[in-house]
C-alpha cells in the first residue's frame, strides 16, 4: 500500500498548540490555555530527556537521523490528537486510517461511534469498528464526535481546532482554603465531607448559571468572624445545607469582592479587548492558527466578564437577601414572615 499524501502532516502543517512558536503562543498570552500548554511542554521536555538518555543516545545506530526535541514534541502531539478517547493510558493505541475520521460538532453522541470486539467467538484477535451515529448518504464524508465534554481550549490543545460554540467556552475558577486560615482544619474537614478538598475547581460555561456547589464552597472559604460558630462540631452534619444559602451580609460581601477582584486581575493579563478580538474575527481571512488563538482568548474574557457581572448583580441584592440569623429566628417563631419581631408575653 502506497503512503497517503500528507499523512501524517509535517510539523509546519500541524496546528497542534505544542508545535507553535513562541511568537504564535504570545497570541494567547494571559489565557488559561497558555499556562496549560506550557505545562504540557515542560512535561514533554522532561520525558524527552529521559528517552534521549536511556534510549536514543545509547542506540544511535538504530536512528537514521538525529531526533530533536521538536521531533519528539511533534510525535507527542500526533499521539495526543489521533488516539481515540478512552483508548488512553495502558490502552493507548494508534489506528492508521481510522484516525483520519473527522469531528463534527453537529453529532451529539460519542458512545456509538466505535467499538473494539473479538474477531470471532474463539478468536483472540481484536477488531476495531467505526460506526457513524447519524445517517450518511453515499459519497458523503463520515464523521464522529471526538468528545462532548471538552472545552474549546481542550479541543485546541488536543486536536488543533475549536468549535466556538458557547457551551465549549469555559473558564475554570480555582478556589482554595488557605493554610494560613485560623479555621483551616475545620474548613478542610467540612470540604472533604462534601466531596471537595483544600482546592476546588469549578468550570464556568458561557451563558450558563454558576455550578451549584460553587457558592457553598465560596461561603465556606470566606467564613470567619462572628459566623465562625457554624464551624463548631455541633453543626458538622448540617453546615453544608446552611452554606447553600446566604450566611451573613459580611460573608456574602466578601465572596463578591474576592471573585470580582480575581476576575479583574485575570482580565488585566490579556493584551487585547473582546471588541478588538471580535473585530479581527469578523474581518475574516485570518491564518487558522491565529483564528484559534483569537477565539480562545475572546471566549475566556467573555466568561470572566459574565462571572464579574453575576457577582456585581449579587452585590446590588445584598440588602434584600435573607441570612442565617433571620432564618433561624423565623424557625424559632421570633420574627414573622415580613421580618417583624414577635414578642411573647408570659401569662
CA dist 25 and 312 (Å) reads 32
CA dist 218 and 50 (Å) reads 42
* Model confidence pLDDT, tens digit, residues 100-130: 888 888 888 766 677 777 777 777 777 888 8
One domain for residues 303 and 177 = yes
Under 8 Å between Cβ of 85 and 103: no
One domain for residues 45 and 118 = no
Residue 57 placed within a domain:
yes
* Model confidence pLDDT, tens digit, residues 190-228: 999 999 999 999 999 999 999 999 999 999 999 999 999
Under 8 Å between Cβ of 41 and 18: yes
* Model confidence pLDDT, tens digit, residues 143-176: 888 888 899 999 999 888 899 889 999 999 999 9
Residue 132: predicted pLDDT: 80
Residue 44 placed within a domain:
yes
CA dist 95 and 282 (Å) reads 38
Cβ neighbours of residue 55 closer than 8 Å, sequence gap 6 or more: none
Q: Grid coordinates standing for 341?
A: 419581631
What value does the CA radius of gyration of the chain take, rounded to a whole number of Å? Answer: 27
Give the active site residues: 146
Residue 347 placed within a domain:
no
Q: Grid coordinates standing for 339?
A: 421580618
Classify residue 298 as exposed, middle or buried by CB count within 10 Å of its CB (0-12, 13-18, 19+): buried
Listed in order, strand segments (DSSP E) in 15-113 are: 102-103
Cβ neighbours of residue 95 closer than 8 Å, sequence gap 6 or more: 84, 128
* Model confidence pLDDT, tens digit, residues 297-327: 999 999 999 999 999 999 999 999 999 988 8
Reported as a pLDDT band with limits 50, 70 and 90, residue 334 is low
* Model confidence pLDDT, tens digit, residues 57-88: 999 888 888 999 988 998 888 888 887 766 56
One domain for residues 70 and 111 = no
Structural domain boundaries, residue 114? 86-145
One domain for residues 112 and 207 = no
Classify residue 116 as exposed, middle or buried by CB count within 10 Å of its CB (0-12, 13-18, 19+): middle
**Taking the model in full, what pTM does it have?**
0.85
Of the candidates 247, 192, 183, 186, the residue with the CA atom closest to the CA atom of residue 215: 247
Under 8 Å between Cβ of 248 and 322: no
CA dist 298 and 41 (Å) reads 23
Residue of higher predicted confidence among 102 and 39:
39
Domain total in the chain: 3
One domain for residues 97 and 62 = no
Classify residue 327 as exposed, middle or buried by CB count within 10 Å of its CB (0-12, 13-18, 19+): middle
Mean pLDDT in the chain? 87
Residue 211: predicted pLDDT: 96
One domain for residues 223 and 240 = yes
One domain for residues 111 and 207 = no
One domain for residues 176 and 308 = yes
Residue 337 placed within a domain:
no
Distances (CA, A) of 57 to 49, 50, 54, 111: 10, 10, 7, 43
Amino acid at each position: 500500500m502506497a503512503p497517503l499524501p500528507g499523512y501524517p502532516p509535517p510539523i509546519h502543517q500541524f496546528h497542534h498548540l505544542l508545535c507553535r512558536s513562541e511568537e504564535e503562543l504570545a497570541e494567547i498570552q494571559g489565557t488559561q490555555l497558555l499556562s496549560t500548554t506550557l505545562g504540557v511542554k515542560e512535561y514533554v521536555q522532561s520525558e524527552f530527556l529521559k528517552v534521549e538518555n536511556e534510549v536514543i543516545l545509547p542506540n544511535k545506530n538504530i536512528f537514521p537521523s538525529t531526533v530533536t526535541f521538536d521531533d519528539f514534541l511533534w510525535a507527542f502531539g500526533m499521539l495526543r490528537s489521533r488516539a481515540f478517547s478512552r483508548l488512553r493510558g495502558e490502552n493507548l493505541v494508534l489506528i492508521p486510517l481510522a484516525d483520519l475520521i473527522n469531528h463534527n460538532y453537529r453529532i451529539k453522541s460519542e458512545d456509538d461511534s466505535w467499538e473494539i470486539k473479538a474477531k470471532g467467538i474463539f478468536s483472540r484477535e481484536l477488531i476495531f469498528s467505526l460506526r457513524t451515529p447519524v445517517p450518511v448518504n453515499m459519497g458523503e464524508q463520515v464523521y464522529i464526535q471526538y468528545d462532548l465534554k471538552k472545552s474549546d481550549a481542550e479541543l485546541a490543545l488536543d486536536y488543533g481546532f475549536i468549535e466556538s460554540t458557547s457551551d465549549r467556552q469555559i473558564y475554570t475558577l480555582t478556589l482554595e482554603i488557605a493554610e494560613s486560615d485560623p479555621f483551616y482544619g475545620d474548613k478542610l474537614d467540612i470540604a472533604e465531607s462534601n466531596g471537595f478538598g483544600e482546592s476546588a475547581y469549578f468550570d464556568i460555561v458561557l451563558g450558563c448559571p454558576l455550578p451549584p456547589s460553587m457558592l457553598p464552597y465560596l461561603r465556606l472559604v470566606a467564613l470567619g468572624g462572628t459566623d465562625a460558630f457554624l464551624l463548631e462540631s455541633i453543626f458538622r452534619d448540617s453546615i453544608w445545607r446552611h452554606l447553600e444559602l446566604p450566611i451573613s451580609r459580611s460573608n456574602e460581601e466578601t465572596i463578591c469582592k474576592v471573585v470580582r477582584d480575581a476576575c479583574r486581575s485575570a482580565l488585566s493579563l490579556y493584551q487585547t479587548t473582546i471588541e478588538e478580538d471580535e473585530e479581527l474575527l469578523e474581518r475574516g481571512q485570518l491564518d487558522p492558527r491565529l483564528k484559534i488563538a483569537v477565539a480562545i482568548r475572546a471566549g475566556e474574557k467573555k466568561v470572566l466578564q459574565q462571572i464579574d457581572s453575576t457577582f456585581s448583580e449579587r452585590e446590588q441584592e445584598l440588602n434584600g437577601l435573607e441570612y442565617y440569623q433571620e432564618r433561624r429566628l423565623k424557625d424559632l417563631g421570633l420574627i414573622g414572615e415580613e421580618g417583624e419581631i414577635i414578642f411573647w408575653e408570659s401569662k
